[in-house]
Amino acid sequence: MAIFERGETYSNWTTIRDRNNVKVDPTTVKITIYDPCNSILVNEQDMTKSSTGLYYYNYDTISSTATYGKYKTKVVATSGSSQVGTYISHFYVMPWKVEENVRQKIGITDEKDIDDNALSELCWISYKKVLRDAYIHVYKVVPLGNPDTGVGFDGTNTSFQTPSYPIADINGDGDVSGTASCATDIWCWWIDSSGSRNEGFVSVTNSKNGEISLYQSDGVTPIPQNNDGVYLEYWREFNTFDEFLFREAVSYLAAHYVNLRLTERDKVTLADISKNTPIVMLYPDRFWNEYRKLLKKVSKPRIGGV
């Protein structure tokens, strides 16, 4: 299993072997875990020995506010002062478990044709694509004034509102945030009095109501009154957004990608595919068509702004 939900425990099991493929015990075996923003969550912690050459580490538990996305683990084994092996692996944190639903849809119950790691990657890619297909893209729109007072860019005001809302979690990390290192959902830029483009800093106060704070790039200084234009880019959730249909759309899109992977191979292990295989082969676009049908029910036309 490579997809986890918040609150679950991720266990890393690593087997250490020498050049003769014999299990061995090095001097140390340490693990480091990085989140999707490449920040270190676990820094060179000792792994526990289960038996000769077999080590494990339990990341207990995944935070209730953990960022959704791809996590990297690096296990380093050393003997004496020499590094003898580095083992890289990945796991995913997502809002729900997708892979079992995908396997059922396409009729694959074994890992021989596509293992959990490869399937998890396709599920995450599908999740990211459906986010962009299902939400409404709002580009180069002018922010409204302070939602309480109506004041605009007077040189001191920093409170504004997006013309449409709710602001969507377009990066799929489980939180709607403004300017950040790798988890930005809304962007701002402004033109100064000399006509030069400048990056702005956005802080999301209330995503449901589109309430935001805008600053110059330092995140402190208000955008000047004599600006020649301030613009936003973000994605908006549709008012009748259906979470169940959204999740089904992700599953069908992932099934489509898996189907492409299987049909592009020279040989498919038929023993590992269920009786639904003839349907997959006869109708290669079956899952794609289902995905498009679901998407029409989830969202409406996906372009806004000017």
Tens digits of residue pLDDT in 53-104? 999 999 988 998 888 999 999 999 998 877 778 999 999 999 999 998 998 8
Does residue 144 lie in a domain region? Answer: no
Q: Are residues 215 and 292 in the same domain?
A: no
Cβ atoms of 96 and 5 within 8 Å: the answer is: yes
Q: Are residues 195 and 253 in the same domain?
A: no
Last residue of a domain, one of 235, 261, 284: 235
Choose between 89 and 111: higher pLDDT.
Answer: 89
pTM for this structure? 0.79
- pLDDT band with cut points at 50, 70 and 90 for residue 1: low
pLDDT of residue 270: 46
125 pLDDT higher than 60: yes
Last residue of a domain, one of 213, 235, 257: 235
pLDDT of residue 237: 85
Does residue 141 lie in a domain region? Answer: no
Tens digits of residue pLDDT in 280-303? 444 668 899 999 999 888 865 444
- pLDDT band with cut points at 50, 70 and 90 for residue 226: very high
Q: Are residues 7 and 89 in the same domain?
A: yes
Q: Are residues 50 and 125 in the same domain?
A: no
Q: Are residues 103 and 129 in the same domain?
A: yes
Total domains in the fold of the chain: 3
What is the domain-level CATH number for residue 89?
2.60.40.10
Q: Are residues 200 and 57 in the same domain?
A: no
Question: Which residues on neighbouring strands pair with residue 212, listed in sequence order?
Answer: 160, 204
Does residue 261 lie in a domain region? Answer: yes
Does residue 140 lie in a domain region? Answer: no
Q: Are residues 222 and 268 in the same domain?
A: no
| Domain residue limits at 262 | 99-133+241-305
Q: Are residues 110 and 188 in the same domain?
A: no
Q: Are residues 260 and 115 in the same domain?
A: yes
Q: Are residues 230 and 260 in the same domain?
A: no
274 pLDDT higher than 80: no
The candidate with the shortest Cα–Cα distance to 125, out of 3, 302, 237, 265, is 3
The candidate with the shortest Cα–Cα distance to 227, out of 202, 196, 257, 248, is 196
Last residue of a domain, one of 63, 93, 123: 93
Q: Are residues 121 and 107 in the same domain?
A: yes
CA separation for the pair 148, 133 (Å, rounded)? 33
Q: Are residues 63 and 46 in the same domain?
A: yes
pLDDT of residue 180: 79
